[in-house]
Structure 1
């Protein structure tokens, strides 16, 4: 009872402080809000929407179940999750966070995962996508395409290590899937695809409309969190809370002989990874290896902004958030360690080795060009998609006034 009252008091005080801060710093809050909005409608919305829509359609068509049956012999012994986790894992890598949480929650709602399996799966399927690592962080912030390969390798290897570690999380009674996983064939996969499509008897038009509506609703929620944490991060800096938190980080950094100037960018990155990565790249007193390690840490941790998005998605199910949070700490540590381990064999070797002009730098330039193209056309895609959403919602409300 006392703990509940204390929690209520803390939440109330936090809300009052936030409101007073917004009143005290209206101009700075507005600028931070615009920054978050620009990030959402220029980058996040147009880059995630196609993945979300296509994934929803693949689920309805039964393709995910087909893939799940095929991948059962791989995912079950390696990560102790059903084969459908392979689809969630791949989409999480390709589209970035919070896609892994969205698809894990959907698989749980469809009954493809138990609660423990869903908690294992969501722990390692939320990753930064390659476009962000190469285009935004490596090329955009550090102006170094070679660094993208190191950051990506450390990030995804850390992600795999988290998945393998989480297989030991939770206890479940052995089921038939564990015994039959090695004997599954193409025929069973095709049968599962067909049965799933028959079970979901929605017409293609309705299926597409549901996919668009569900995807846009999720992205609107994501946009709200991005804007909120952009403002919160700015207010924490203005109130000198970031500086106070950085003092404790400076002690830890000194143990590893990292410059104290990295403390404030690191704290900022714990809240929002884009801002943190940008600030880390501007610290001239740190070596490139130290900057890469700190960037890998915050990329693996995901930032509280992404974690809040995931928590909101998981709240719609019985999937607990605590295992996901501890997994983020694990991935940050793993990613930082892999950055140090791979520094010489990956970065130094490829950076010093003479390569054709169209090798890695061209990949980096391509990622940068694609990243900037998304920024240029992103607002148009966002506006068009929102208009389509409004039209779909209008006709649904017209046909069914109870909506």
Structure 2
């Protein structure tokens, strides 16, 4: 009973808020359902099905064989670890964790390797960062690309740092690649769709729950109370409330940061840290996806905090040099608005340079 006292207290608080502020809570729940049904479901579900088919038909092993010379020296991991890392970057939360869980359940990686991969593979996606945070919130898609770049570098730095905790196991405990006959798509597709529906439904439940919880904390004045407690810090009350709410749910927190009166560089750095961490909502979604993987939750949370700090520091160091390239205005305020994005030249050059170096290094090691 004592072990679950905090969870019981949170549930009682939520019941109280539902009875005390029924109209506001109903509207918050309806908005969360709309967010999941109109944006998360159509964008994430096809990606889950596609990734599931690739995993079951052996694409991960092929990628692993090619990228083994790159992943081993940098992260001390087998090449197959590149599959959840890069797909996690392109698709966003919680696809990196979902793919890692699938690899572990199919015994293609060990538990130690799964924990190490999870420390850097679960990251925000470009659609959310560029379309929502950059264009809709801060009125400059450019900042979304910078967030994506910084989260990518922060994830790499975290993976390299956490290699120290898994070095003795992950380097000497590789599961050998065994070429097996690939099943047909008619065998893979039904199981993949069923698995994806289960996962996307769980994600929808967490989105609705935390959307209602955030509204409950707003209505009861908890965010305002936390802002008053932290008023000794050199930030505005709006900034402190945004950070408090962002730790619980990152989308709401980044939006409030975009409207705070503080220095733009501080607000953008805080937003970058929030999206790299993901908030408690994303954390619960990830742990729900990993329910069949017996990882150490404290170590995963420590990795996300490290990822957040690394991404924030990289952004803060880059901001003075790239601020002049940011677009001043964007004629949109939609939540995932259709905007004519212009990718900065330096972002294209740096991305091409990185992948070219990685490919050449992999070919060199393969020879």
2:219 equivalent in structure 1: 238
CA distance in 2, matches of 1:233, 1:299: 17
1:178-189 paired onto structure 2 within 5 Å: none
1:207 equivalent in structure 2: 188
Instruction: Confirm or deny: 8 A CA contact 1:45 1:219 kept in the other structure.
Output: yes
> Which of 263, 283, 297 lines up with 2:240 in the alignment?
263
CA distance in 2, matches of 1:7, 1:352: 50
Q: Deviations over 1:177-203 (max 9, x none)?
A: 49x9xxxxxxxx8xx5xx33x2x54x4
Q: Deviations over 1:158-192 (max 9, x none)?
A: 121111111112353453749x9xxxxxxxx8xx5
Q: Does 1:220 align with 2:194?
A: no
CA distance in 1, matches of 2:330, 2:15: 47
2:123 equivalent in structure 1: 127
Off by >3 Å, runs of 4+ in structure 1: 170-174, 247-251
Greater helix proportion: 1
TM-aligned CA distance change 1:324 to 1:117, over 3 Å = same
CA distance in 2, matches of 1:352, 1:225: 34
3-state SS of 2:3 partner: helix
**What is the CA-CA distance between 1:326 and the residue it aligns to?**
0.9
Which range is displaced more, 72-81 or 146-155? 146-155
Instruction: Confirm or deny: 8 A CA contact 1:314 1:321 kept in the other structure.
Output: no
Instruction: Confirm or deny: 8 A CA contact 2:84 2:96 kept in the other structure.
Output: yes
1:367-378 paired onto structure 2 within 5 Å: 368-369=337-338
3-state SS of 1:369 partner: coil
Q: Does 1:35 align with 2:31?
A: yes
Which range is displaced more, 7-16 or 209-218? 7-16
> Which of 226, 232, 251 lines up with 1:274 in the alignment?
251
CA distance in 1, matches of 2:11, 2:251: 25
**What is the CA-CA distance between 1:104 and the residue it aligns to?**
0.6
> Which of 273, 277, 293 lines up with 1:301 in the alignment?
277
Instruction: Confirm or deny: 8 A CA contact 1:89 1:124 kept in the other structure.
Output: yes
CA distance in 1, matches of 2:85, 2:320: 29
TM-aligned CA distance change 1:176 to 1:26, over 3 Å = closer
1:64 equivalent in structure 2: 60
Paired residues in the alignment total: 336
Q: TM-score of the superposition, structure 2-length normalised?
A: 0.85
Instruction: Confirm or deny: 8 A CA contact 1:296 1:335 kept in the other structure.
Output: yes
TM-aligned CA distance change 1:237 to 1:205, over 3 Å = same
Q: Deviations over 1:301-328 (max 9, x none)?
A: 1011110001111121212222221111
TM-aligned CA distance change 1:16 to 1:351, over 3 Å = closer
Q: Does 1:77 align with 2:73?
A: yes
2:348 equivalent in structure 1: none
- Unpaired runs of 5+ residues, structure 1, are 181-188, 354-359, 372-403
Q: Does 1:24 align with 2:20?
A: yes
3-state SS of 1:23 partner: helix
**What is the CA-CA distance between 1:144 and the residue it aligns to?**
1.3
Instruction: Confirm or deny: 8 A CA contact 2:140 2:327 kept in the other structure.
Output: no
> Which of 146, 152, 158 lines up with 2:154 in the alignment?
158
CA distance in 2, matches of 1:14, 1:143: 36
CA distance in 1, matches of 2:6, 2:87: 38
1:311 equivalent in structure 2: 287
> Which of 324, 328, 331 lines up with 2:300 in the alignment?
324
**What is the CA-CA distance between 1:244 and the residue it aligns to?**
2.5
Select the structure of larger CA radius of gyration.
Answer: 1
Instruction: Confirm or deny: 8 A CA contact 1:96 1:126 kept in the other structure.
Output: yes
Q: TM-score of the superposition, structure 1-length normalised?
A: 0.78
1:145 equivalent in structure 2: 141
CA distance in 2, matches of 1:340, 1:268: 22
**What is the CA-CA distance between 1:132 and the residue it aligns to?**
1.1
- Unpaired runs of 5+ residues, structure 2, are 341-367
Instruction: Confirm or deny: 8 A CA contact 1:146 1:361 kept in the other structure.
Output: no
> Which of 271, 288, 295 lines up with 2:264 in the alignment?
288
TM-aligned CA distance change 1:248 to 1:324, over 3 Å = farther
CA distance in 2, matches of 1:14, 1:132: 29
TM-aligned CA distance change 1:236 to 1:352, over 3 Å = closer
2:358 equivalent in structure 1: none
Q: Does 1:175 align with 2:172?
A: yes
TM-aligned CA distance change 1:123 to 1:347, over 3 Å = same
